[in-house]
Amino acid sequence: MSIDLNTNFGHVTITNEVIATVAGGAAVECYGIVGMASKNQIKDGLTEILRKENFARGVIVRQEEEETHIDMYIIVSYGTKISEVASNVQSQVKYTLNKTVGLSVDSVNIYVQGVRVSND
């Protein structure tokens, strides 16, 4: 599945994997995020932190009619306020996708898969 955008310069098709990778990259830059987690915990095992090339495994991009929804599975740092971290991730992902891809996202749903002590 992909998202089609019509611009003044022509037609652009962006795959969901590209959108998921951009969204995952934006999320891990936020304070309080240890990393992305897999959306298939039962199949993939315990909560593992995904590497940069596998961010798409922790993000689901859904398009319903004219609306775009993103589900993100994250691991937060111990000692941070989870609601604040989730709110920061939501706003950062919306902003980044709007600026880099030109896509306006209707909702970003955050699923916290675990809490870990960060290496910082």
With respect to CATH, is domain 2-116 assigned 3.40.50.2000? no
Q: Where are the domains positioned within the chain?
A: 2-116
- pLDDT tens track for 93-109: 999 999 998 888 999 99
The predicted pLDDT at position 44 comes to 47
- Where the chain has pLDDT below 50, the residues are 42, 44-45
Q: With CA atoms as reference, report the closest residue to 103 among 69, 72, 71.
A: 69
Predicted confidence at residue 2, as pLDDT, reads 78
- The strand pairing partners of 60, in sequence order, are 71
- Amino acid sitting at position 47: T
Report how far residue 117's alpha carbon sits from residue 10's, in angstroms, rounded to the nearest whole number: 47
